[in-house]
Structure 1
Amino acid sequence: MKAPRPLLTLLAAACLTLASAAHADVLDDVMKAKKIRIATDFSIPPSGMLDKDLKPVGSDVETAQLLAKDWGLELEFVQTTGATRIPNLQTGKADIVVSTLSVTPERQKVIDFSKPYAALVSMIGARKDLQIKDWADLKGQSVTVTRGTTQDTELTAMAKDKDFKVVRYDDDATMVTAGVSGQADIVSTSVTIMNQITAKNPQRPFEQKILLRNLDLAIGVKKGEERMVAKLNEWVTANLKNGKLNAIYKKYHGSDLPAAMLP
C-alpha cells in the first residue's frame, strides 16, 4: 500500500531537516555563538608568547585577533602545544588553529587548511663551532626536535637511514631551554626559534647548518569544513592584498613575507 502524498511530503521535509542538522558546520556554530575559539601556542616567540603582564602577544596572536575583529566575533584563545594543535580541532576544543601550523601531506590527510598566511624556514641548526655541513656529519649525533612538529615527522622517518638519534621535547620553549643550557647541541626547528637560543645565551651561539625546506603556514580547520575554509581563504586573500598580514609578520619577524605570497 502506498503512503498518502501528504505523508510522503512530511517525511521528505523531516529528512531534509535532519540532514541539515547533521551537516551543521563549524562556521554556522561560530557565527551563531558570535565567538571563535582559536588554538594558539604561547610558548613559541615571536609567533606566540606571553608578555610581562601574561597577556598573549606575537604574530599568530595578532593574526587571530585581526580575524576575530574582521568577522565581528569575540575571540577565545585555546592554549595549545605543537602536539595538541590537531587534536584540539578533531575533538572540537577549538574551531580553528592559528599556531605556526605548516602544510604537509600527512596533515592534509586529517585536517584541512586555508591559504597560507605566513611562512617559516625549517632547518637543522647547531652550535656555531660544530662542523656540520651535510647529513653525513649527523651520523651518531642526537638531533633535538619539538614533539608533533614537521621536523619531528621528517627526521623520525630519516633517522635510521642517516644513523642519527631524534630527541623530543614537548614544546618549543623547553627545546630552546635545552639548547641554552647545553642539553642540546643540535636542534631542528625554524630559524626564528633557533635564534632564541643565541639570544638567551650569546656565549653559546647557534647557526643554521642544513636547510630542510621553506614551509607555508596556514590556518588549520577540521576535515570537511568547506564553508569555513572558503571564508578563511577570502579573509587571507584580502589581508595579504591590503598588507595587514605582511605588517604583522614584519613587526615580529623582522622581514617581509616571501614575495611569492604577496600580491
Structure 2
Amino acid sequence: MKTLLRCLAVCAATLYLLSLCACSEQKQDALSRIKETKTISFAMSGGYPPFNFYNSDNQLVGFDVDVAKEVAKRLGVEFKPVTTEWSGIIEGLRSGAYDGILGSMAVTEQRLKVVNFSTPYYYSGAQLVVRKGSSYAKPADMKGKTIGVVTGTTFADDATKLGAGDVKLYKDDTQTLMELSNGVVDGVITDRVVGVNAMNSGKFNIALLGSPLRSESIAVAFRKGEEPLLNKVNDILSDMHEDGTLSEFSIKWLKTDITVQ
C-alpha cells in the first residue's frame, strides 16, 4: 500500500512539473512575439493634432505616428496602429490589446504604478487656452469657471488646482477646442504644442493664456514585466535622439524641436 501511495505521489509531482513547464513554454515575452509575427502595435487616440490625427484623406498621421513607424522600422517589423479612446488606453495595454502606447502620454507617478515608461522622446507642458478676445488676463482668473479637458489626461488635475468650478471631460482635443470656440467652456487645458498648432490653424477662435502651467516628459508606455521590449525601444529612442531623427520629425510637424529639454 505504501509503495502504491509513493508511486501516486511521484506521478502527481511529475504531472505538476510537466504542467509548469508547459505554462512556461506557452508564455512568450512581447519582444520575441513581435519579432516572430513581424508586427508591433502602438495605441494612440487619433484625435491629438499635430501628434496623431486623421488627415483629410482619412490617413493617420503626425509626429507620434512617424516616431512609431521609425521604431518599428528599426526593430525590423511592421507598425500596426491602434486608435482608441484615451480614457481606457492604459487598461487596453494591460489587457494585451496592443504592445505599447505611443500617443503623447506623460510620465506620472500614478501611471508608473501600473505601466513602465521608456526614456522620454519629447518634452512639453500643460497650457491653458481661452477664447480669443476674452477678458481673462491670467490663469488664476479661471477660478470658478468651466474648463474642458480630455478624459484620462493629467490636465484634469491642473484644472482642479486652478479652482475650476466645473471640469468637463471630452473624447479628444478636437472636441474641447470646438466647445471652447463655441462658448460651451471658458477654457481648455491641453499640451502647449497642441494649443499653438490649433491657434495657428485658424480653425478655432482661441488664444494661449499665460506660460505653461507645468512641464511634462512624454514617453512610450509598456506593460509591467516586458523589460526586453522596453530596453530595446530605449536603445532605439537613444539612437534616434543622437542621429537627429526625432528632431527632424519634430521640426517637420511642429516647426520647432521639442525633443530636448
What TM-score, normalized to structure 1? Answer: 0.85
Partner of 2:109: 105
Per-residue Cα deviation, 1:185-223 (whole angstroms, up to 9, x for no partner): 311111222235434557833113352211111001012
In the alignment, is residue 121 of structure 1 matched against residue 136 of structure 2? no
Q: CA distance change for structure 1 residues 134 and 48 in 2, over 3 Å: closer, same or farther?
A: closer
Contact 2:106/2:217 (8 A) holds in 1: yes
CA distance in 2, matches of 1:188, 1:47: 16
In the alignment, is residue 86 of structure 1 matched against residue 90 of structure 2? yes
Report matched runs for 1:41-190 at 5 Å. 41-129=45-133, 130-135=135-140, 137-156=141-160, 158=161, 162=163, 164-190=165-191
In the alignment, is residue 207 of structure 1 matched against residue 208 of structure 2? yes
CA distance in 2, matches of 1:241, 1:163: 42
CA RMSD, Structure 1 to Structure 2 (Å): 2.7
Contact 1:126/1:209 (8 A) holds in 2: no
Contact 2:198/2:204 (8 A) holds in 1: no
Report matched runs for 1:6-21 at 5 Å. 14=18, 17-18=21-22, 20-21=24-25
Per-residue Cα deviation, 1:82-102 (whole angstroms, up to 9, x for no partner): 223212201211111110111
Contact 2:177/2:204 (8 A) holds in 1: no
Helix, strand or coil: the match of 1:100? strand
Instruction: Give structure 2 stretches of 5+ with no counterpart.
Output: none
The code of the aligned residue for 1:77 comes to P
Q: How much identity, in percent, do the aligned residues show?
A: 26
Which structure has the greater CA radius of gyration? Answer: 2
CA distance in 1, matches of 2:147, 2:222: 30
The code of the aligned residue for 2:138 comes to K
Q: CA deviation at 1:240?
A: 0.4
Q: CA deviation at 1:11?
A: 7.3
Contact 2:94/2:223 (8 A) holds in 1: yes
